[in-house]
Structure 1
C-alpha cells in the first residue's frame, strides 16, 4: 500500500509539470527491488492534440519530470526513472484513449459478456463506433459488417489489436505479386 501512496504523491507533483509540457500524465507506477526503486511514468497527448508522442516530446518531458522529482524529493533512496508512452498493450480506459485509437483495430469486451472486434471509426460524446471486420480465410478479403455504436459505460475491457493486414505480398488479378511485374 505504501507504493500506491507513493505513486499518488508522485502523481500530485508531476501532473502540473507534465501539463506544462502539453501532455497528459496517464499513469505512475513504482516497482521496488530491495533498496532500489523504479518509477515508471506513462504519458499521453491530450485528445485535441493531433501530434504524436514522439521521442523529442518524451525527452523534454523526461527532463522536466526528473527535475521535479529531484526538487520535491518524493522518492526515497536511489531510483531509476522510466518515462514513455502508454504502449499498445495497455487497455483503453479513458475517452481520450479511444479518440487516439480511431482508425485502428480494437477488441471491446462488453459488460453483457459479448465482444465487438473491428475498426474503431468514431468517438462521439460517450459512445464509440466500431465497424466489425471478420478476417478472410486463406487469402480471401475480410467481411465488413454494419457499424456498431457502443456506449463507453458498457465497455468492460478495450484494447488495440495489432493489425498485420497489408503486410506481405499482394495477390491481385493484375499479376503483380510482391514486386514481380507482369
Structure 2
C-alpha cells in the first residue's frame, strides 16, 4: 500500500497493511474495529494465535502496527491504536477457536437443545472431546463440532483437577490441584 491517505483507513486497508506483520509474529487478525466517534478516533486490532498474546507481544505488535499505520495516515490525523486478544466472551465458532481454547472450561449449547459445562479436550476430525462430570466421575464425550450450537469459555477462579486435565489431554500443563 503506497502513499498517505487523508482520514482513517478502512477495515480492509488495515487488515491488508498489518496482516503480514501479525502472521510473522504467529498471529492472525480476527477483526479490526474502527470507531471514528471519539476524538482521537480508535483503531482496535483483535488478534489470535495458537499461543496466547502476552504483554510483550502486544507491545511489539502495537509498535510495528503503529509505524505502518503512521505511514498510511496523514501526519496530522491522530488516532488511538489498541491491539488486543478476542477475550473470553467471544463464542467459539471455528475449529481453530476450540483448538486454541484446549483445556479451558466452556459452556456449550448442543444441537439437541441440551447444555453442558465441560473442559475442552483434543480437537480432531471435526469433533472435540468434552470432559464432563457425570455421577461423581469424569467422562469424555466426543461431540462433532457441527453439533455445537454455541460455546463460550468460562472464567475459572480455581485450578482444574489433575484427572480432568489428564482426560482433556493436558496433564502436566497446569499446576496440580
1:30 maps to which of 9, 34, 39: 34
Counterpart residue number, 1:96: 96
How big is the shift at 1:112?
3.5
Paired with 1:93 and 1:72, the residues of 2 have a C-alpha distance of 33
Q: Is the 8 A contact 1:120 1:131 kept in 2?
A: yes
Quick check: 1:63 aligned with 2:56? Answer: no
C-alpha spacing 1:34/1:62, structure 2 compared with 1 (3 Å)? closer
Counterpart residue number, 1:116: 116
Question: What is the DSSP-based 3-state SS (H/G/I as helix, E as strand, rest coil) of the residue aligned with 1:53?
Answer: coil
Aligned pairs (5 A) from 1:1-182: 6-33=10-37, 36-45=40-49, 47=50, 51-73=51-73, 77-133=77-133, 143-166=136-159
Q: Is the 8 A contact 1:131 1:146 kept in 2?
A: yes
Structure 1 runs of 4+ with >4 Å offset: none
Counterpart residue number, 2:163: none
How big is the shift at 1:38?
0.9
Q: Is the 8 A contact 2:43 2:82 kept in 1?
A: yes
Larger C-alpha radius of gyration, 1 or 2?
1
Query: Alignment length, in residue pairs?
Result: 151
Q: TM-score under structure 2 normalisation?
A: 0.73
Stretches of structure 1 lacking an aligned partner (at least 5 in a row): 135-141, 168-182
Paired with 2:145 and 2:137, the residues of 1 have a C-alpha distance of 22
Paired with 2:117 and 2:14, the residues of 1 have a C-alpha distance of 36
How big is the shift at 1:39?
0.9
Paired with 1:122 and 1:97, the residues of 2 have a C-alpha distance of 12
Relative contact order, higher structure (CA 8 A, sep 6+): 2
Paired with 2:120 and 2:113, the residues of 1 have a C-alpha distance of 19
- Please report the RMSD computed on the Cα atoms of aligned residues, expressed in angstroms: 2.6
